Amino acid sequence: MLEMQTARDSLSHLLVGLKAVDESVVRGEKRFGPHAYAVAYVDFADEVVQRSQHLRDFQERILGDDFFDSPGDLRWNKYLYLVAGPNSTSNPQFAAAKAAIEEDRDYARKRVVSAEDLKSLLGAAELFEATDGSVSPDVLADWRRRLASGQLELLLDCVTPRTGVVAKIAKREAGTPASSRQRISDLNRADIPLAKSKLLSLTISSFRPVHDGKTYDFGKVTLVTGANGTGKTSLLEAIERFYCGNNLRSKNTGVVRLKGKLAPNEGGDGIDLQSTSDGPRLKARCLAWYNRKEFAVDAIVDSFSQYNFLDTDAAFRLSAQLQPADVATELSRLLVGATAATTFDYLQKIHGDVEKAFDKAEANADKLQEDLIQLEKRLRELQSRPSIAMTLAESYRAVLVSLGWKSSPNAGVSQLDEEPQLLAALGHIQALSSLGDAARTLSDIEYRFTELNTALEAARPHQERLSELNKLENDLVEHIEAHERNAELLSRRLVYESSGFLDVRTRYFDARGVVDALAERLKSQLSGEAPEIPVRYAELPIGVALQSANQAVRDAEERFGGAKKALDLHGKAASARAAAFESLKSAAFKVLQQSQHPNACPVCQTVHPDGALVHLIEELNSGNDSSAELNALVHVSSQAEHDANEAKKIATGLEYCQSTASLVGLKGETPKEILDELAGLRLEADKARLELQRLTQEGKALREAGLTSDEHDRLWSRVSHFFESTSSGHATNGAAEVLRSQNEAAEGKRNELEALRRQIDAVAEEIRAICRAIDSDSWSTRVQPINSFASLITLKDEFIPAADNVERLRSYLHVSDDASLAELQARVAAVASACSEAVNAWHSEVSNSEELRVLPPAIEAQQLKLSTARGEADALGAAQNLLGDLVSNASLESATQEVLEAIGSQINEVFSRIHSPKEYEYVGSSDVLLRSVETRETRTLAQVSTGQRAAFALSIFLARNRTATNAPPILLIDDPIAHIDDLNALSFLDYLRDLAVNSGRQIFFATADTKVASLFSKKFSFLGDDFKTISLAREPRPAEAVTGN
């Protein structure tokens, strides 16, 4: 048990406030300043199997009271470690007990651990100290050195298309001259605090629209939450842009303006620093922070992604369902960087391209070699050869002169240049011969042209007369059509006249005018019952009658008021009498009760039978002496009320008469006259409405017959000018009369047209006679038929090229007018053939001599091409060998293994913390990365679960960050645990918490998962003001902001 005791003694360096809470169980806390942020219970009993059998009771005994007394967030940060010694591990049930304990979620997270694992799990401070990463291999630098040795540095830029790059390699232009490389300057003085300060805030003036114009404050740990699309990643990329001057995942081509406020780790005033995109300045940062002496400005974002900004995309791909080869590729992206992985993929492809290009270059050089051999052989043949060209030329000149050629033949053999003119003359002859059988000589053709001109001029006056007659014909046709259209409209108008439509429409509008006028005058008095006016008021002037009626109303209301008062007084008197009688009865009953003679009247001393006196006293108030008086009063009151109502009804009727007379404008002065006049107007309105209804029915019948006001108005607007109107606007003449005049006018125009067309036919016949005189089948023509002036013009235009051919032919030859065109064609063809033979013979002899002249320089040029092709093949061969050596001996896989070996211990430390339950341990050899804890069987990443691969990806990133001792002390983590199971996620957050407490790292954690965000807050709330939360939300679009939707 010495091992157990040693582990127990080491707790004093790992926890504070140690105390024993049970036999073999120690409780301790992790604190940040005065605040406890985690509570650990460590069980050294070495009884794991027994604990699993009574786990609930064990937890309630040691954790129950303390659990509920703890603050809310601290309840989420309690841990129970059961240290497994030899007693536990030797038990056959140990594995099952361990699994059951670690799966239990009550009270605290539970881990069954060995004594040596305790220090790592409790997060000793030295485990978070930065380690020197300057010796970490830089595969890009190695590739640059190798490619530079072959002048192939251009390949590191992954230029596309690759065909252009291969061409540059062949020309040895893929290197970078030393003079063109930018010298990396020293780190800018303003950039020194970046690697030794905390970022307090970032003001984003211009970067992405979602954050532009905003300032964000940061703590030692900053949580960024919000739904997808709210700008979480963009905020982290703004931080990346502030440090690196660029972004790895997305490029921003616009203007970027960021300003950060830095707090130096050693204290002092805050420092404001603007973002920059200056290339030399960013290269100096890259060299100072990551020891990468790169010539590319973008190298800094690649390194930032490896050491400071978790490549979540690569981590996700590594945790996805991939093929084994893909797993290795994604592992390489995490370990050596996305740029190196992309570059190696490019180098592999360009290696294949170079191999193919080398084979083509070799084949091209071999072909050039063969062509050179053939050229040298041809030169030797020509140098070893005597001319018929002169003989043929002299014979040709003799026949050319006999042909009558106008220009003088050239003397030299090399100047036999008449062949184009001969061929042109031959073409003219052939064109003339194709004019028809009548085209036998030039004289025939010239006579035909003159004949066509004469016929055209003879027909021209007739055509002018015909044009005038055609114009007159068109005018007559237009007049006839106008008269016919007018006749058609007038015929329709006649239908309206004969159907009585116009009379019905006139009477309808008159009746509607009367109805509308009476309705406008009477308004609300058009209907309703008239009031009844008594005779005594009917004959009085309306004002006097209304005054008398109002006085009657007032008198009746006064009488009704007096009657009501009398009834009230009578009621009050009756009540007083009833009260007096009740008092008298009460006194009498009291006297009778006190008297010794209850049957004797106390007033008159009369003795009554038993019970009779009491009965008499009871009847004292039962008399109806006042009933007649009451009935009279009631009758008077009812009559007064009736009179008042009648008076009001009469007054209302008179007011109606007075208001109606004023409203309608009646002339009557008495109520009777007013009512009679009103009745007359109502009767008149009723008659007008009946007449309107009757006319409406007649109009409906006319519409059903197809007669409408719209059509009539359209007709009238088009024919009204034919009618004479009276001063009242009615037409004095009928449609039948106007229709007859239009028909007569149309008939007269038709007669004129018939006579005019006879004239047109006569003139046209004269033109056709001229056409028939020149129409002949012996002349070829496309003009058919030839029977008009237009056909004569076309026929002449068609013959103009023939006249031009005659003129051009005479410019070449002396030709008589009666010379046969067929014979002339044969002679010219023979001379042209003789010219061609002489020219070909001369060209053949010249070709041989020319070939002798050009072959030597051609051979020299071919030798130069061959030398260039051999040089390109050699360059491609050298590049092929260099790339082949690089792909084989400096591969991405070997670089990945070198990095694993360099940071293997850091990966192991992190992986052992965040991998839960601990099924695998890190090996990191060249053959295998992991092995099973229980079976010791080796495993590749492709053989473990996606969650375990995700945990391994996080371990790589955190391990690399520990080695970046000179880089900015920040970690940017974007939704890293979306694909990790709950236990690994909790372990990861616990590791980040220990990292925040025990190192100078500043952590930025973004997530869209509200559950993860809540858990993260519970894990880090103990930091107080050093823990910041930035909650992002979608801002409404401009239209939504206005509407409120």
- How much is the pLDDT for 1007? 92
Q: Which residue has the higher pLDDT, 623 or 316?
A: 316
Sole residue written with tokens 């997060």: 123
Omega within 30 of 0 (cis) for the link into 917: yes
User: How many residues appear in the chain?
Assistant: 1045
Q: Measuring CA to CA, which residue among 931, 927, 929 is closest to residue 955?
A: 929
Rounded Cα distance, 941 and 937, in Å: 13
- How much is the pLDDT for 627? 66
Contact of 248 with 238, CB cutoff 8 Å: no
Strands 920-922 and 930-932: antiparallel
What SS3 state is found at 225? Answer: strand
Output the CA torsion sign for 733, 736, 740, 742.
Answer: positive
- How much is the pLDDT for 727? 47
**Which has the minimum average pLDDT: 90-94, 378-382, 827-831, 960-964?**
378-382
Question: What's the average model confidence in pLDDT over 911-932?
Answer: 66
Q: Produce one character per residue of 701-735: b if its CB has 16 or more CB atoms within 10 Å, e if not.
A: ebeeeebeeeebeebeeebeebbeeeeeeebeeeb
The H helix count followed by the E strand count for the chain is: 35, 16
**Residue 620: how many other CB atoms lie within 10 Å:** 13
pLDDT tens digits, one per residue of 259-273: 999 999 888 889 999
Contact of 685 with 519, CB cutoff 8 Å: yes
Question: What's the average model confidence in pLDDT over 1036-1045?
Answer: 44
Most confident of 226-230, 684-688, 957-961: 226-230
Rounded Cα distance, 510 and 994, in Å: 104
For residue 679, pLDDT over 90 is answered with no
**Residue 798: how many other CB atoms lie within 10 Å:** 16
**Residue 835: how many other CB atoms lie within 10 Å:** 25
Most confident of 221-235, 327-341, 655-669, 852-866: 221-235
- Say which amino acid occupies 318: L
Q: Measuring CA to CA, which residue among 364, 386, 498, 314 is closest to residue 950?
A: 314
- How much is the pLDDT for 631? 78
Sole residue written with tokens 């070799």: 362
Rounded Cα distance, 851 and 612, in Å: 181
Q: Angle CA(770)–CA(771)–CA(773) in degrees, nearest 5?
A: 65
Domains along the sequence of the chain with CATH: 2-127 (no CATH), 540-662 (1.10.287)
Rounded Cα distance, 504 and 510, in Å: 10
For residue 384, pLDDT over 80 is answered with no
pLDDT tens digits, one per residue of 769-793: 888 888 888 888 888 888 888 888 8
Rounded Cα distance, 64 and 107, in Å: 8
Rounded to 10°, the helix 892-902/338-383 angle is 150
What SS3 state is found at 109? Answer: strand
Question: What's the average model confidence in pLDDT over 142-163?
Answer: 87
Rounded Cα distance, 870 and 876, in Å: 10
pLDDT tens digits, one per residue of 845-870: 666 667 767 878 888 898 899 899 99
Average pLDDT of the chain, as a whole number: 81
State phi, psi for 670 to the nearest 5 degrees: -100, 160
% the chain with pLDDT above 90:
18
Contact of 656 with 648, CB cutoff 8 Å: no
For residue 360, pLDDT over 90 is answered with yes
Residue 139 confidence class, pLDDT cut points 50, 70, 90: confident
